Amino acid sequence: MNERLYINDILIELENSSTQFSRTLQVNDLAMLSNRQTNFTKNIKIPKTPNNIMAMDFLNVVGNSSNKPYQKNNVKYFIDNNCIIYNGWAVINQSTENSYEITVYDGNIDFFKTIENKTITDVDVSELDHIKNIDNVVDSFTSTTKNYKYIITDYNGKNTYTDSGTTTTIDINIDYQIPSAKVSYIWDRVFSFTNFTYSGSVFSGDSFTNLYMTYPKPVPTDEPIVTPISSQASSIGSNTTDWFTFSFFLKCFPEPFDTPEADNANGYIRIKQNGSFRLKAEGNYYLNSQPNGSVRYYLFSESNVLKTWGVINGQANESVILGCAVNDKLLLDSPLYFDNSYMGSVTTSLDLIIGYETNFNEALIDFQVKDFVNEIMQRFGLTMFKDKYENHIEFLTLDEILQGENQLDWSDKFQGTYNEKYILNNYGQKNFLKYRYNEENQKFNDGFILVNNVNLKDETTIIESKIYSPDDGKGIGFIGDDKRVYKFWNKEIKDDNTVKYKELTGRYYFLRSEDYVGSSMKIGSEKLNVFQTISNFPIANYDRLSFKEIIYDYYLPIESILDNAKVLLVDFYLKPSDIENFDFKKLIYVKQLGSYYLVNKISNFTNGKITRCELIEVDYQKRIDAPEVIPPSGITITSISISGCSVTLEYTTDAESTTPITIYGFPNSFGTIPPPILEPQYYYNGTTYATGYTNTVTFDVMAGNYYQFQLSIAEFPPTTIYSNIVSGENFGSCTYVPPAPIATYFIITSLQTISVIGNTRKVRVNYISDRTENEVINLSATASLSFVYPVTQTYYLTPSNGFVEVDLPNKFFDTTIPWSIQLSSQGLTSNSMLS
């Protein structure tokens, strides 16, 4: 066996390589539902040859500054042409006198390393950021472009209020409503950040697409986002408006202003757009040495009807928010009468309130991406399968794995059973999946998986979610049938029977959106002093979100498997091709054991040795039927046609579509099987695939022979099903010549300076390859100095373990000029650096 290890695309020299690599494969240990695993190959010892020391940037050499132990080192590992590890991650553990010791991880490692120590803020969910105001809240109800939504429910705040200006009861107070982000949006952002794609049936279902996660705290309302209109110091004066006259009054905006929001051209402030306006006073004036900062306001409608009035005090920097409509009129004065003895001033400011900042990107800084991914995988009972060659992850439920159509038969690899266990140490008789709660000792939305084995410990917790459960559905209800409380405020009753709302933080809830069906309601903001009428809006729904329901939907197969658990350590003789293509998605069948199994772990695979695998027997009695695989009964060649060296066979078979069919063509042996031993080039060996009951296949054979043909199905060992043998046909007249095989590897193994004579440096480039005779080799060499011209050369040397020699210019007799050297042949390239 030819084993090749590359670290950062540099071929590593190995000693006794067949004993060094011990590879463990795993994706999701059924005994550890709380986390996910990855493949690893540990305790690889790399000898300290000159080539390997250079590959490690002279690590452990006195005076070195190698960064290799602290970075990602890419790994590829081949056994013959089987790619065992394609994109691994080498961790250099230590250096000894004679070797470097490394551990190689692959599988899910790239994904988990990318999100390691990252928070949801790091993946950038700034698209969720918005200004909380009544327009954005209402727009979120039906928007198809916003990835957040205000789902109306009881968050334990002040849900309703009475509008002070109209005495209208406002049914929904948005000041105490919380926005929620679409879980699917955050999930997409995670995968965009990691540069991975994903697939899985659960992601198109309503259970995922209609899943939301709350903003973790109340939206702050202490300081709004505003558009400044004007801020001016007061003066004493008189003014007559077109409908109202004051004499000796406090003139708050003595200078004219005109903005898109308001103006004061007519002796009062005219409102030019609907919205919430903040009037603020700051400072003192003095009358007879007595300080006072009072400013009185009157808000009139366009038809001069008084809407509201009041007083704010500049001494206390007081402000008031006024809900205004277009053409409303705002008059300001003082409750005191002034004369010329007035001194000082009060600065009044008028602003249009945009709303309150809702910054998801900042608020989610304490939620780890790893925890978020685990929450989704645990919630849907998912296992992740990383594509070996691409940054793509497929997610499957256990049901999908158990019901998969393709199973593997490992009966012919079976070597014996090491032991059989009946207890999984991480489980108890009652295995809890738990939420967080606002109050201690609550568990009404928890669930548990029962295992009927009295020899297990009484109970244990296998999943502890970081998501909070809403309080139980025993409240009076706010809107709709959901009586749950998603608590973000604690209510404190004060001595005067008023209620103080104390904010809670760090609360993440999952919930769903359901359309409200009922009469129209008033929605508004007591803080912003605005309201409107709505008839369509979303309300909270907790359907299928308790762990009891999650277990029923996604974990019954596990309950069935654990109920009469059989965990076997079984020895198999696995080939490199078995490891190369294994992905844990398929059940395996072992005839000698008479059952189907989940492969929980492949432990310490070493090429050429027996491999021990941990199998979990699949109990289908509770949940699903055993997969039925009906083997084909036969294959028959029904006709043959010949044109030159081209052969067309028609055949019938009851094998399923896409079943591989092997074609054998060999010289006529006059009915003797096997045929006489001849040179390999006189035989034809190919593969086709069944497409139905009646099939045809066309191929070419070598000229100058009489041939017999045979088809076989070898997918159902130990029996190989053969077709009838077609009698020999003469191909003596055709001129077909088979194509040369295509090379699969071409690798520079080392560079040697042979001599330095004058301005010429002769270099030998050693390589290995499976190229065929007389194939062209192209060499290109580029120096690191721009004034040294590159070198190109063509060769026709043929050894599979050979070399080429090239003369490189050696300007100024400097033997330290670095050169980048590349060999290429049959579309394959290999690069190396010469110093």
What is the model's pLDDT at position 728? 46
Does the pLDDT of residue 812 top 80, yes or no?
A: no
Query: What's the chain's Rg over C-alpha atoms?
Result: 39
Closest of 331, 357, 309 to residue 126, by C-alpha: 357
CB neighbours of residue 699 within 10 Å: 15
Rounded Cα–Cα distance for residues 332 and 335 (Å):
10
Rounded Cα–Cα distance for residues 409 and 593 (Å):
12
Q: Which residues are 584's β-sheet partners? A: none
Q: How far is CA 107 from CA 149, 387, 604, 760, in A?
A: 36, 8, 15, 47
* Contact by Cβ (8 Å): 415, 612: no
CA quadruple 682, 686, 692, 695: dihedral positive or negative?
Answer: negative
Give me the amino acid identity at 471.
Answer: D
What is the model's pLDDT at position 801? 62
What is the model's pLDDT at position 805? 85
For 542-576, what is the HEC assignment?
CCCCCHHHHHHHHCHHHHHHHHCCCEEEEEECCCH
pLDDT band at 657 (very low <50, low <70, confident <90, very high): low
Q: For residue range 658-689, what is the model confidence (pLDDT) as tens digits?
A: 677 877 776 654 444 444 444 444 566 777 77
Residue reference for tokens 């079976």: 414
Question: By three-state DSSP, how is residue 301 classified?
Answer: coil
Who has greater pLDDT, 64 or 737? 64
For 202-219, what is the HEC assignment?
HHHCHHHHCCEEECCCCC
Q: For residue range 710-729, what is the model confidence (pLDDT) as tens digits?
A: 777 755 544 455 555 544 44
What is the model's pLDDT at position 808? 82
Who has greater pLDDT, 652 or 736? 652
pLDDT band at 20 (very low <50, low <70, confident <90, very high): low
Percent of the chain residues past pLDDT 70, beyond the cut: 82
Percent of the chain residues past pLDDT 90, beyond the cut: 31
Q: How far is CA 66 from CA 55, 89, 769, in A?
A: 10, 17, 31
DSSP secondary structure string, 116-177? TT-BTTTT--GGG-EEESHHHHHHHHH-SS-SEEE-B-B-SS---EE-TTT-PEESEEGGG-
- Highest mean pLDDT (candidates 150-154, 338-342, 713-717, 790-794): 150-154
Q: For residue range 376-416, what is the model confidence (pLDDT) as tens digits?
A: 999 998 888 888 888 999 998 888 887 776 788 899 999 99
What is the model's pLDDT at position 724? 54
Does the pLDDT of residue 309 top 60, yes or no?
A: yes
What is the model's pLDDT at position 187? 97
Q: For residue range 230-288, what is the model confidence (pLDDT) as tens digits?
A: 999 988 766 566 656 555 467 889 899 999 999 998 888 999 999 999 999 999 887 66
What is the model's pLDDT at position 371? 93
Mean pLDDT of 624-640: 62
Mean pLDDT of 572-585: 84
**Planar angle of CA 210, 213, 215, nearest 5 degrees:** 140
Does the pLDDT of residue 325 top 50, yes or no?
A: yes
pTM greater than 0.75 (yes/no): no
Q: How many residues does the chain have?
A: 835
Who has greater pLDDT, 91 or 730? 91
What is the model's pLDDT at position 509? 97
Q: For residue range 167-194, what is the model confidence (pLDDT) as tens digits?
A: 899 999 999 999 999 999 999 999 999 9
**Average pLDDT across the chain, whole number:** 81
Pairing between β-strand 3-7 and β-strand 73-79 as defined by DSSP bridges: antiparallel
Q: For residue range 350-378, what is the model confidence (pLDDT) as tens digits?
A: 999 999 999 999 999 999 999 999 999 99
What is the model's pLDDT at position 266? 83
What is the model's pLDDT at position 675? 45
Q: Which helix (H) or strand (E) holds 382?
A: strand 382-386
CA quadruple 697, 701, 706, 708: dihedral positive or negative?
Answer: negative
pLDDT band at 480 (very low <50, low <70, confident <90, very high): confident
Mean pLDDT of 737-742: 54
Who has greater pLDDT, 417 or 735? 417
Q: For residue range 21-40, what is the model confidence (pLDDT) as tens digits?
A: 776 777 665 545 555 556 65
* Residue-range domains of the chain with CATH: 3-107 (no CATH), 225-355 (2.60.120), 635-730 (2.60.40.2060), 746-834 (2.60.40.10)
Does the pLDDT of residue 620 top 70, yes or no?
A: no
Mean pLDDT of 62-69: 84
What is the model's pLDDT at position 220? 86
